[in-house]
Chain A
Amino acid sequence: MLKRKHLALGMTAILSISALVGCSDSKDESNKGDTIELKVMLTPQWKGVIDAAEEGADYDSFFKYAAEQFEAEHKNVDISVEVVAGDQRDELLNVNLNGGTPPDVFFESVFAMGDYAHRGALVPLNDIIDDEAKADIEQGYWDSVTFGDDIYFYPFSHNPGTFTYNADMFKAAGLDQYIGEENEIKTWTMEEYEEILKTLKEKLPSTDYSNANAMGMYALNNQGDTWNLAYLRMFGNEFFDEEGNIILDDASGVKAAEWMNNVYQSGYTNPGAESVSSNDVNALFQNQQLAISFTNPILFNNAKADMEAGKMAKFDMRLANIPSESGDPLTFTYVTGAAVFDTKDEERIEMSKEFVKFVSTDEELIKASKNGIPVRTSVSELYKSENPLFAAYAQNSQYIFNFTGNVPGYSQLRQVLYPELQAMFTEQLTPEEAVKNYQEKGNQVINDAKEDSVIFNK
């Protein structure tokens, strides 16, 4: 009896101890033995290693291939690659950062990751960038990845944002004169654009294109908000002043908001913009239920590849600029690149930097930047005959505006815009009130973030 009691007590004690052991710190597990385990994360970019037409091409193909190559040279390194949805990025990173387990490398558009540099979560990459890279990549791209005095992202490619339009739908509505060349980024004036929207609404044959609308409009969340930011500049608003404060609350800003609201209320866009996401709009365009939508080179190339692979119906898809009152196109670009997180483990940080350098400089791998627009002149030269649009994007580059203003707190700032647009589209607020609210709340976010920025307070 006594023996059995002792056995039961012993088992209970073991259970208690194992419960505690289960909670013990496992921070250093990844570096047990000689293997250095690195976690690489990315949001969906291009499919395939170099080309979306490769068999089995997927969003992680490039980094998996790069990891294999790198591991072959560094036997003690084990790299895992994970693709995370763009709209889940901040949630995932914040959880990992607060839990002390950030990924080692993150490949993403710089605009979406700048806050992590301000928060002190990234390590500078100055020491892995050599003169050859500096000479091959134009200064403008280095500027966009430099925060304070340091470079935090290794620029890889960039993705200029434009419109894409369904030329077949234009023809069906009798808008042939507004269709650009196949390899042109067509620029329309505001008057022409409004005429296009009106004609599409009135003359697009519903027999061929049932339930279709002229233009995509969305404000469910912050995804794809850069196009909405571009619309707000249509009438000449500069958006940020020199101190990085929002200055949308003037006549040009209000006029732009009124324009957005008018095209929506006039039925030129898909219905329910307040509860439609950019993903929905993209799907509607691909399903030929929208004639004009947003795009960037990666989205555009992926759609073309899907058409070739028979995954979506073929139609004549072309590019156009976002128009403005001045007549100059409104264009912006997302510079993409890899950043290294401060994992507090020197060995991992050094190896992560090595990996980023490998991905960003290896002659074979950098060719993948052709899926967007290469930041390297050498790669652009190599592929310019293969991709005539490179010249069109280069022509556009003179009109590029910096949509983030390099302000701290940009991630949170993005959460402020769409609720105001929702209020405007649902007529709870006038365009003027929506713009005023956005400016007030946005500037509050920027000022709070300035106080916490390690770069501002250096």
Chain B
Amino acid sequence: MKLKDTMRENISGYIFIAPQIILFLVFLVYPIFEGIRLSLFKINYQSETFIGLANYGKLFADPIFVKSIINTLIFVVFIVALTVLFAMFVASAIFDKNAKYVSIIRGAYYIPVMVSMVVMSMIWSFLLNPANGLIPFLARKMEMSVNFLGDTNWVLPVIIFVTFATNVGQAIILYIASMIGVPKELFEAAEVDGASRIKVIFKIILPMVKPTTIYIIIMNIIAVLKIFVVIQLLTGGGPNNASTTMMYYLYNNAFKYNQLGIASAVGVIMFIITLLLSVPQLRAMLKKD
């Protein structure tokens, strides 16, 4: 009876959240379960055959998939680290300067974020194309011979740089906003105590913007785990799969090879990795707050 009353009391609340819940269930939860189901099947145009965990077995026996995991992890570590460190450096250097100056710097770094990744990748592709790109042309003029996109030693650093350069503006904006929000009294107290700029940054600013740091790290990890456009347009996963990532591997299997079961298995593995990486950080953030 009491439960019924509580239900009646809360019914309007449930109805108000119903649209969001329905959309969440239909467009997020259902695809996850459907992806898990598909990963257990061999699928062709005419039929679906249950094969248990065979798709997963096939995946881990494929050296290209293993390479794609390693490459993805390399991208995550380097792009996230570079983004956080560089954004922290730029933001802490300028956040308390003249407002106009801050706006110019903020705008300059944010412009690439507003440009589509497709456009950025194409521009870099034009610049780096070994046959007619500007950079290899200049390198040849200086009697250097290097193909940044075709050299296994260079291709990962190039992708890391292009992705980092395109995305770092977002992190800078967030850091500047967060640093501006740090109470002025703390800086005044530090000034009275004669603290150096370095001390102010490490003892006041960075601890105060920790929630922002955690947010930037989580968001960037999730984004970089799904890195695809730059690979597709710049290297096509090459040379010899040296720059293949999990998302690109998934894409190839789903849309080029029509191996939906394998592609779904990759999706499930990516989901688990993302979950494992995100949960401890989310927990740390929630505990502090």
Residues on A lying within 8 angstroms of B by beta carbon are: 5, 8-9, 12-13, 15-16, 19-20, 23, 90-91, 94-95, 97-98, 119-121, 211, 220-221, 270-276, 280-281, 283-284, 287, 289, 411-412, 415, 418-420, 422-423, 425-426, 428-429, 452, 454
Contacts and interface: CB of A to CB of B under 8 A. Distances in A.
A412 B44 CA distance: 14
List 6 tightest A-B contacts by C-beta distance, closest first: A272-B130, A423-B240, A422-B239, A91-B255, A275-B150, A274-B150
A154 to B, nearest CB: 22
Given A90-B255, A120-B46, A426-B240, A9 B15 contact: yes
Given A272-B130, A274-B239, A422-B240, A415 B137 contact: no
A271 B130 contact: yes
A91 B256 contact: yes
Given A272-B131, A276-B130, A415 B256 contact: yes
B131 A220 contact: no
B256 A276 contact: no
A458 to B, nearest CB: 12
A267 to B, nearest CB: 10
B132 A280 contact: yes
B239 A275 contact: yes
19 contacts: A9-B12, A19-B23, A23-B26, A94-B256, A119-B44, A119-B45, A120-B45, A220-B236, A220-B238, A270-B131, A272-B149, A273-B150, A274-B240, A275-B236, A280-B132, A419-B239, A423-B239, A426-B151, A454-B46
B16 interface: yes
Nearest to B147: A272
Contacts of A97: 45, 258
Contacts of B46: 119-120, 454
B235 interface: yes
Nearest to A412: B257
B136 A272 contact: yes
Interface in B69-91: none
Nearest to A287: B132
B19 interface: yes
Interface in B210-265: 235-241, 252, 254-258, 260
The interface size bin for chain B is: 35 or more
Contacts of B235: 275
B256 A90 contact: yes
A284 B131 contact: yes
Contacts of A283: 132
A238 to B, nearest CB: 26
Interface string B129-147: 1111000110010000101
B255 A272 contact: no
Contact of B15 (A12, A281, A419): A12
B284 interface: no
A271 B45 contact: no
B186 interface: no
A276 B239 CA distance: 11
Contacts of A211: 132, 137, 140
Given A270-B131, A281-B131, A275 B238 contact: yes
Given A280-B132, A415-B257, A121 B150 contact: no
A428 B240 contact: yes
B170 interface: no
A12 B19 contact: yes
Contact of A428 (B147, B152, B257): B152
Contact of B145 (A271, A281, A425): A271
B44 A415 contact: no
B22 A280 contact: no
A16 B19 contact: yes
A289 B137 CA distance: 13
Nearest to A284: B131
B152 A426 contact: yes
A121 B44 CA distance: 10
A279 B260 CA distance: 29
A422 B150 contact: yes
Contact of B240 (A271, A273, A412, A419): A419
